[in-house]
Amino acid sequence: MRAIAIHASQFGRHLELLAAMYRLRRRVFKDRLDWSVSVSGEFELDVYDTLGPTYLVLMAGVGEPVGSVRLLPTTGPTMLADTFPVLLGGTPAPHDERILESSRFCIDTSLIAEQAANRLNRATFILFAAMMEAASAARADSIVTVTDTRMERILRRARWPLRRIAAPQQVGSTMAVAGFLDMSEQTLHTMYEQADVNGPVLVPADLVSAAA
């Protein structure tokens, strides 16, 4: 298993992978979670996808991606500041080039049905490690995110605890919470150990096409 990083300047070259990721997001966020997101046909996209995102797409061998996450700079509009300011508890939203915002984290559980728990955990750990690698490649040292208390528990179990900004709030049908995910050599190595890998899990998209 490995994660591939794609930026807007590489969308054309990786059109199939990109389409597969938007498809995965539609299945998870519209069909399964029934979020109020924009969809067309099999795809899901929102306004934050227009702000220069980097996508991390998790692959298990060849075929469909099994997970993905979106990273955005916090120097422009963010989900936390512009869509969920209620989760800030009155504190100013982070706008800092050393902080990225992550969103649309998902693992497609239906594709990892066999050997259930173990593989699911491993996919989650690898995508977490990929987030840390991508953030440090962008010279960021922290990730801010809007999530829910269920995901917060997963993060705590993965030993990458969310540092809450304010108390959780009921948003629609979920208990939403915003917080920071701090990064260090130590958190990264802990994640590698849990994922049972020796080193980097993130592959730049351009190397993937060179190898193919």
Partner 1 sequence: MSPVECIFQEFIDAIQTATSADEFERVATRLTQRLGFQRFAYLRLTGETPMLISSYPKSWTSRYFQLGYQQLDPVVRRARAEHALFSWGGEASALAGNREQRRFFDEAMTFGIRSGITVPIRGGFGRMAAFTLATGDRDLHPERLVADGKDLIQLVGLHFHCYVAARLDVLSASKLIASELSQRERQCLAWTARGKTIADIAVLVQIAPRTVVFHLENARRKLGAASIAQCVAEALRRGLLS
Instruction: Give least dist CB 1 to partner 1, A.
Output: 25
Query: Are residues 56 and 127 in contact, defined by beta-carbon separation less than 8 angstroms?
Result: yes
Query: Are residues 87 and 176 in contact, defined by beta-carbon separation less than 8 angstroms?
Result: yes
Instruction: Give least dist CB 15 to partner 1, A.
Output: 5
In the complex, the residues that contact partner 1 under the rule CB under 8 A are 8-9, 11-13, 15-16, 18-19, 22, 35-43, 45-52, 75-77, 82, 95, 97
Instruction: Give least dist CB 145 to partner 1, A.
Output: 18
Instruction: Give least dist CB 29 to partner 1, A.
Output: 11
- Taking the least distance from each CB to partner 1, the nearer of 77 and 126 is 77
Q: Extract the tokens encoding 103.
A: 């969103």
- Taking the least distance from each CB to partner 1, the nearer of 32 and 156 is 32
3-class state of residue 10 by DSSP:
helix
- Taking the least distance from each CB to partner 1, the nearer of 74 and 124 is 74
- Taking the least distance from each CB to partner 1, the nearer of 10 and 121 is 10
**C-alpha distances in Å from residue 156, one per residue of 32, 73, 106, 152:** 24, 24, 17, 6
Question: What type of residue is 13?
Answer: R
3-class state of residue 165 by DSSP:
coil
Q: What are the beta bridge partners of residue 40?
A: 43
